[in-house]
Amino acid sequence: MELFKNIEIDPIKLNSLALAFVGDTIFDLLTRGMIVAEGNSPVNLMHKKAKSIVNATSQSKIYSKIEPFLTDEELGVLKRGRNAKSNTQAKNQSIVDYRRATGVEALFGYLYLKGNFDRIQELYKIGLED
């Protein structure tokens, strides 16, 4: 998972939307990996399951679940992402859910660029617990 092994990036210097840009892919990759690990099934069913997790409403719920477990540094990144001003409008999602989802994605992007893969997986599991 070390795609940026030879690239020096200080994630704290990146704006929140750049972190969310990376984090969106990381979140999607984790979700797809989890679904495939559950076993073979038709691709359209796997896609529907992924869409049910990788969306603003679901990620907003994850925001609430992981927030109490975050360090001060992580909480700062989450809130920076949530408060980022985006030119993109939420599609069929509330603006609150959309912004909270951006916070989660920013946090995942930040942790990924820091190389903190274990922490990403830990927070992902907490976020998906029922």
Per-residue pLDDT of the chain (130 residues; tens, 9 = 90+): 455 555 678 888 899 999 999 999 999 999 999 999 999 999 999 999 999 999 999 999 999 999 999 999 999 999 999 999 877 777 788 999 999 999 999 999 999 999 999 999 999 999 999 7
pTM for the whole structure: 0.90
At residue 85, the pLDDT reads 85
Alpha carbon distance 47, 32 (integer Å): 8
Could you give the angle at the alpha carbon of 93 between the alpha carbons of 91 and 96, nearest 5°? 125
Helix (H) or strand (E) holding 51, with range, is: helix 43-53
What are the chain's domains? 14-128 (1.10.1520.10)
Which sequence positions are flagged as catalytic? 24
